[in-house]
């Protein structure tokens, strides 16, 4: 079993437990469930924004502990003040030490698009995302067949959530819906776990130019952003490069200043 399969299997067990504790009728009573959402797609295409989706995460399976003590409210506010276009918040608990409450705290403190970064294996999680204040969800093509990917996409859109679909290879492009999503290219090879920005560059030539494209994993410098922009990318998901700092928001602000100076 691959690490990704292991994470998804574990997440499926957790979701079954949560269904018993928090039935859908309870999720629908959340103040966020019918609230207006903020468009990730719109913010990524704004010319006055950096395109950076700044991620809050405490640890990862590949890197271990990244920042165990960061405060989600302080970090996400400083991210937005530093020039991020949007936020990504990890909510997977076992491998990333995330919590649904992290996203809700970010929601309370910020008016901006917030992506729920998780491993969605059940439609329940989409309603859950709406109830905790997310504006968009992540669907990982490698973890879903075409039918489920299309169904989850439809459910999310019906609930007013935008969808970031993540691919790792050209083969996964065949699973995509016809329209109405943001496309993320993850530069991490799922077999070797190695990261290479060439993945984004190679896939860019095979993608629909009308899509809003996001590059994920392995982005460390303003030069990476400028290079990827040349290939049509509008969004750049960055977490570890900021979260390793004692002050992630300051690190992002410095990054954005360097980016603007290089533009």
Catalytic status, residue 55: yes
* Mean pLDDT to the nearest integer, 18-41: 97
pLDDT(62) > 90: no
217 is catalytic: yes
Catalytic residue among 117, 131, 200, 215: 117
Residue 189 pLDDT greater than 90, yes or no: no
Catalytic residue chosen out of the listed positions 166, 172, 240, 251: 166
Catalytic residue among 41, 67, 215, 217: 217
Q: What is the pLDDT of residue 154?
A: 98
Examine the pLDDT at 40 and tell me if it is beyond 90.
Answer: yes
Catalytic residue among 105, 162, 216, 240: 216
Do residues 62 and 194 make contact, with C-beta atoms less than 8 angstroms apart? no
3-state helix, strand, coil in the chain (%, to 5): 45, 15, 40
pLDDT at residue 101 is higher than 90: yes
Buried b (16+ CB within 10 A) or exposed e, 129-150: bbbbbbbbbbbbbbbbeeebbb
Q: Name the catalytic one among 88, 186, 187, 215.
A: 186
Is pLDDT above 90 for 80?
yes
Stated pTM of the model: 0.96
Q: How many domains does the chain have?
A: 1
pLDDT of residue 183: 98
Predicted local confidence at residue 152, as pLDDT: 98
Give the active site residue among 41, 49, 50, 57.
57
Per-residue model confidence (pLDDT) at position 81: 97
Whether the per-residue pLDDT at 209 is higher than 90: the answer is no
The question of whether 158 is a catalytic residue gets the answer: no
Contact (Cβ atoms closer than 8 angstroms) between residue 112 and residue 141: no
Question: What are the pLDDT digits (tens) for 136-175?
Answer: 999 999 999 999 999 999 999 999 999 999 999 999 999 9
Residue 41 a catalytic site member: no
- 166 is a catalytic site residue: yes
Task: Quickly state the pLDDT bin for 194 (edges 50, 70, 90).
Answer: confident
Q: Report strand pairing: 59-60 vs 64-65.
A: antiparallel
Confidence band for 190, pLDDT divided at 50, 70 and 90? confident
- Domain holding 194: CATH number? 3.20.20.70
Catalytic residue among 49, 55, 240, 251: 55
* pLDDT band at 34; cut points 50, 70, 90: very high
pLDDT of residue 191: 78
Pick from 180, 159, 123: nearest CA to 30: 159
Take residue 142 and report the two structure tokens written for it. 């490698």
Please state, in angstroms and rounded to a whole number, the distance separating the CA atoms of residues 55 and 136: 14
Strand ranges inside 34-186, DSSP E: 52-56, 59-60, 64-65, 86-90, 114-117, 136-140, 162-167, 182-186
Cβ–Cβ < 8 Å for 171, 202: no
**Who contacts 226 (Cβ-Cβ below 8 Å, separation ≥6)?**
259, 262, 263
Angle at 115 (CA atoms; ends 110, 117), nearest 5 degrees? 130
Residue 228 binned pLDDT confidence (cut-offs 50, 70, 90):
very high
The answer, yes or no, to whether residue 241 has pLDDT greater than 90, is yes
Q: What pLDDT is attached to residue 63?
A: 87
**Range of the structural domain that residue 68 is part of:** 3-262
């Amino acid at each position: 079993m691959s690490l990704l399969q292991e994470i998804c299997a574990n997440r499926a067990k957790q979701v079954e437990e949560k269904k018993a504790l928090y039935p859908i009728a309870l999720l629908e009573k959340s103040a966020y469930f019918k609230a207006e959402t903020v468009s990730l797609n719109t913010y990524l295409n704004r010319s006055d924004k950096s395109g950076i989706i700044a991620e809050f995460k405490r640890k990862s399976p590949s890197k271990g502990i990244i920042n165990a003590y960061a405060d989600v409210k302080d970090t996400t506010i400083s991210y937005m003040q530093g020039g991020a276009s949007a936020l990504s918040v990890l909510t997977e608990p076992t491998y990333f030490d995330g919590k649904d409450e992290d996203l809700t705290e970010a929601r309370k403190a910020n008016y901006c698009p917030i992506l729920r970064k998780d491993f969605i294996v059940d439609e329940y999680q989409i309603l859950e995302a709406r109830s905790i204040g997310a504006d968009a969800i992540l669907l990982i093509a490698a973890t879903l067949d075409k039918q489920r990917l299309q169904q989850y996409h439809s459910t999310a859109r019906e609930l007013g959530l935008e969808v970031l679909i993540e691919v790792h290879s050209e083969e996964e492009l065949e699973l995509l819906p016809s329209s109405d999503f943001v496309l993320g290219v993850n530069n991490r090879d799922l077999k070797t776990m190695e990261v290479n920005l060439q993945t984004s560059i190679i896939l860019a030539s095979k993608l629909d130019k009308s899509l809003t494209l996001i590059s994920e994993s392995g982005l460390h410098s303003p030069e990476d952003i400028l290079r990827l922009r040349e290939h049509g990318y509008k969004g750049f998901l960055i977490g570890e490069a900021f979260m390793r700092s004692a002050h992630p928001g300051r690190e992002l602000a410095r990054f954005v200043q360097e980016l603007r100076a290089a533009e």
